[in-house]
Structure 1
Amino acid sequence: MPDPTVPPIRIKGRGSSSRPEGRFETTRREAEDDGWYRDGEPASPPATVVTEERARHVITRNQSPDVPFTASLNAYRGCEHGCAYCYARPSHAYLNLSPGLDFETRLFAKTNAADVLRVELARKNYRCTPINLGANTDPYQPIERRYRITRAVLEVLLAHRHPCTIITKNALVERDIDLLAPMAAQRLVHVFISVTSLDNRLSSRLEPRASAPHRRLGAIATLNAAGVPCSVLVAPIIPALTDHDIEGILERAAQAGAPTAGYTLLRLPYELKQLFEEWLATHQPDRAAHVLGILRQIRGGELNEPRFGFRMRGEGTFAELIRQRFYLACRRYGIGARAVGDLDTTAFSPPRPPSAQGELF
């Protein structure tokens, strides 16, 4: 829990306002006033620092029954979007960095991701299955404008007719329509854009560096108009904070041509519990107790439920009410309530494996 004696401080453009230690740390750090700032003078805002790294592997496998894909690729570690609720925040603890501010300011770019992907696709034992881009961090977060790693990955996938799905909160995905449209024509791609709220003011605090809600809805319309299937994810739904927008999001997404929709209920694994409580104390202090109370109702008395089959949807009366509202709205607005359309894995043409002797043909 946040210290009730210390007033929370909002850092503009950041979803977190602290750097709590990760669960693997053996030391604890505390901020101390060194006297350099005059009373009322704010400290410098934390800058984004990107470290370029060379990946050895880029395709990750999972066996979770809660997600509709078994393979994923993350071009970046950490995410500048800074979403306060992001379930990927605790992954930064593996780097001895804080899941708080470090997750959104200390980023890592896998600059050789496309080259490594090409090598992995060329392996003799490789079996083609759709690869998800954006399972852990957003492939179109702001630094993608500079690094263009996601675009390079898409170029490899298109060249070898390999299917993929994309999950993003950023309208930057529109930049790659020249790649996505020919992929869509071959049933090789399905894009999902997550829309959490229709309230720009709330969104600017909840997911400060993601595209505004209206831009995401505009991207859904643009992609579908270009022949690229683009669905909507109402995810995550935050009880007593964003759930009132479920029907509105689905109506707007239907108008934008979204063929399908999905949803998840907020989950708070590991350090995310503390971080989200801090966010509520900073931005929604009057609703904090109510939001956390409902979360405990749908999570068996806890703030997180890790069991497969329950962690995405929750259980109990409130969770069932959300489920019914979501499916009723999907029927009302003509959106399919399913995860992903059929993608073609039969056209995959693997790259030739690298050879020290070169090739004549």
Structure 2
Amino acid sequence: MGSLRLQSVTKRYGDVVAVTDMNLDIEDGEFISLVGPSGCGKSTTLEMIGGLTKPSEGSVYIGEEDVTDLPPKDRDLAMVFQNIALFPHMDVFDNISYGLRIRGTDSDEIEERVDDAVEVLQLDGMLDRMPSELSGGQRQRVAIGRAIVRDPEVFLMDEPLANLDAKLRVHMRTELQRIQRKLDVTTIYVTHDQEEAMTMSDRVAIIDDGELQQIAPPLTCYNEPANLFVAGFIGSPAMNFVDGTVSGSHFEAEELRVDLGSTDVGDATDVTLGVRPEDIHFRAALPDSESLGSVRASVDVLEPIGERMFVYLIPEKAVPTDRETGGEVSQQYLLMTVDPEEDIEEGADVEVTFDRSNVHLFDTATGGALLHGLEDEPAPTP
């Protein structure tokens, strides 16, 4: 069984805590991505699963077996890393088949498995080449092939597509998903690229500063982020945040005052309203029953990027501030996305509103989510 469990796993390097009390339950055949900013602890977590690093505390289980103290060779894992590690004196065929040969696999089966991997990885005609004759992307594909042919209980992949060109990365994302489904093998995939994590995974584990922030299906992380970090990290472009307070049924900030209707938030002194760029609309384009508030703003910058256009707005009442120092340093923007054919110009004054079903409220102090979406329409003002 390829199920995997991390139980209260912590890793320390002297006074530095790289991973804190990590608890993960991964089902057999599941594709899980570990995602987060550089240095967040995702690669360290993968190394503890693989046996390359021993936890300072906690246990690692594969199936029902505690493998915390087992060496990598006894864990039935196959690993692929960003830093390519091929045998320089072996050709492509021998590199891919090495693990099978030392396990005594029949030669006919070796050739069949290698041929399948070569077709998937677009390595036709390269089996007799040496690593020095390959490009970086080709060498990485050979490393992936060496893992594929092993048919292990668990795949561990640490940014394996990072050295590939953009077109091949898209192709390989699709192929890795197809291979994973075909083999039905548990896969733990580390990446800093949230697009990879969102498109490839059954669930995404988001890590920050060594702590697990949320593990859930990709769309759940996107639509119902557990906290401010997840809300700001998942999604490109990032979610807009407006700091303010809730009093009664109203959210109030320098930029806007909106009626939230009936919520369970109650009065709160420090609340952050979050709204994604695609959920900001021109006021005239959204029915009253679906809109939340009204913000007058001027268009600062337009960025057409093909299928959509980014519009940077300066709210009429926004005050440029630095959150850390309180000094007037950086302008408070709202970013919205519109159709690239939209008739709008830089410097124009506009009125925008938020899609009330897709706004989010967070506790500013703790970062925890308070609500996702407003279902009811506020009563009209008498």
Instruction: Provide the TM-score with structure 2 as the length reference.
Output: 0.23
Q: By percentage of residues, which structure has more helix?
A: 1
- Relative to the length of structure 1, the TM-score reads 0.24
Structure whose alpha-carbon radius of gyration is higher: 2
Higher RCO, 1 vs 2 (CA within 8 Å, ≥6 residues apart)? 1
